[in-house]
Amino acid sequence: MAALAGFPGILEVAGWDEAFLEVHDEDPESVARAVQRAVREQTRLECSVGVGDNKLRAKTATEYAKPGGVYRLTVDTWYDVMAERPPDALWGIGRKTAKRLAGLGLHTVGEVAAADPARLAAELGPVRGPWYRRLARGDDR
């Protein structure tokens, strides 16, 4: 975390080995590679870096960056990358919820994104149902 603290931006520590660094830069991939270099130099460890235009997309991109790479996921690429994935590919949706969504006929991220929010609210709860749709659209923090 000390390596990340040296970068301009807002650092949010999410655990002993995970953090979010909000940086606004014309070339975010170069910042990501600089982060990797700093972590390697200071710890001798490799890290994967997800770049996104919001926290959810950055977190999701990290899965595609593993091991030790950089991957960018934005509003423009979200559906191309995520639409055919199962709902539990989303941060915040686990196997149990994916099973409940499948019971509603929703087997992909794209199907959840296109689902009627009122139906999701009725079936999965007034807060959680619409939240799953926002996750599937890549619209949530």
pLDDT digits (tens, 9 = 90+) for 15-46: 989 999 999 999 999 999 999 999 999 999 99
Is the pTM higher than 0.95? The answer reads no
Distance CA 115, CA 81 (A): 18
The pair of three-digit structure tokens given for residue 89, joined into one six-digit string: 């590919």
70, 32 Cβ separation under 8 angstroms: yes
Active site residue 18: yes
109, 90 Cβ separation under 8 angstroms: yes
Of 98, 79, 78, which is closest to residue 88 (Cα–Cα)? 98
Give 118-129 pLDDT, tens digit per residue: 999 999 999 999
Among the options 12, 18, 29, 63, which is catalytic? 18
